[in-house]
């Protein structure tokens, strides 16, 4: 897959303990699995990526752009790819006066899962859960798939991540986190 991502003007948004993502991006995709060349723009609003622009361009010798073809585009998958590849690690300097923000790659999460729910694993559980929620996927299922664990184990690990405040409290019977007062006023 050929992907080009540009991060537009806007703040780096906190995305849980130790992580951040660009608050706005535009990404272009070309792949034989896609019927068109696709460019989408998105912003992070209240913990979810909202698509603000979408362009589908006919490929040479490709099918014409149709409303049916556009409806079949895997938007959540494309958003998830950009979110996972645009992650930033946020760390304080030893003096604590400054914050270092650096690009990061996700480690092999199945390999990490072998050690059980360590602090490091629970931090990544919260991150994967948050990414799933942000792109409109079932967050618990994303944890199951990313770590190669059962649904029951994923539920326990998510609960532990909440207890240790890697994830905020859940809204009753809904995926995600209750908005904190700090997040609520942000646009």
* pLDDT tens by residue, the chain, 187 residues: 788 888 866 678 888 888 999 999 999 999 888 999 999 999 999 889 999 999 999 999 899 999 999 999 999 999 999 988 889 898 888 887 777 788 888 899 999 999 999 999 999 999 999 999 999 999 999 999 999 999 999 999 999 999 999 998 887 666 777 666 544 444 4
Do both 130 and 68 map to the same domain? Answer: no
CA distance 185 to 129: 23
Do both 21 and 74 map to the same domain? Answer: yes
SS3 (DSSP) at 24: strand
The answer as to whether 162 is a domain residue is yes
The answer as to whether 98 is a domain residue is no
Do both 8 and 84 map to the same domain? Answer: yes
Do both 72 and 113 map to the same domain? Answer: no
Do both 18 and 84 map to the same domain? Answer: yes
Do both 17 and 65 map to the same domain? Answer: yes
Q: Calculate the alpha carbon distances from 46 to 69, 135, 173, 185 in Å.
A: 29, 12, 18, 9
Contact criterion met (CB below 8 Å) for 62 and 35: yes
The answer as to whether 93 is a domain residue is no
What is the domain extent for residue 165? Answer: 106-181
DSSP state of 135: T
Of 24, 53, 88, which residue sits at a domain end?
88
Do both 6 and 81 map to the same domain? Answer: yes
Q: Counting Cβ atoms within 10 Å, is residue 2 exposed (0-12), middle (13-18) or buried (19+)? A: exposed
Please state the domain count of the chain. 2
The answer as to whether 71 is a domain residue is yes
- Residue 91 has which token pair? 């760390």
The answer as to whether 114 is a domain residue is yes
Sign of CA dihedral 145, 27, 14, 171: negative
CA distance 76 to 91: 29
The answer as to whether 95 is a domain residue is no
The answer as to whether 40 is a domain residue is yes
Of 61, 88, 115, which residue sits at a domain end?
88
The pLDDT value recorded for residue 179 is: 65
The pLDDT value recorded for residue 5 is: 87
The pLDDT value recorded for residue 1 is: 76
């Amino acid at each position: 897959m050929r992907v080009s991502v540009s991060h537009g003007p806007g703040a780096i948004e906190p995305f849980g303990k130790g992580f951040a993502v660009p608050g706005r991006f535009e990404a272009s995709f070309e792949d034989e699995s896609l019927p068109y060349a696709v460019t989408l723009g998105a912003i992070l609003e209240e913990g979810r990526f909202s698509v603000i622009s979408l362009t589908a361009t006919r490929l040479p010798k490709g099918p014409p752009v149709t409303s049916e073809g556009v409806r079949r585009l895997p938007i959540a998958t494309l958003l998830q790819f950009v979110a996972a590849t645009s992650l930033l690690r946020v760390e304080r300097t030893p003096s604590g006066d400054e914050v270092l923000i650096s690009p990061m790659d996700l480690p092999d999460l199945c390999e990490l899962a072998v050690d059980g729910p360590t602090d490091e694993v629970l931090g990544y559980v919260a991150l994967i859960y948050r990414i799933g929620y942000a792109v409109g996927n079932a967050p618990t299922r994303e944890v199951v798939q990313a770590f190669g664990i059962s649904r029951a184990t994923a539920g326990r690990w998510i609960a532990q991540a909440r207890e240790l405040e890697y994830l905020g409290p859940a809204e009753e019977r809904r995926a995600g986190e209750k908005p904190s007062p700090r997040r609520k006023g942000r646009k």
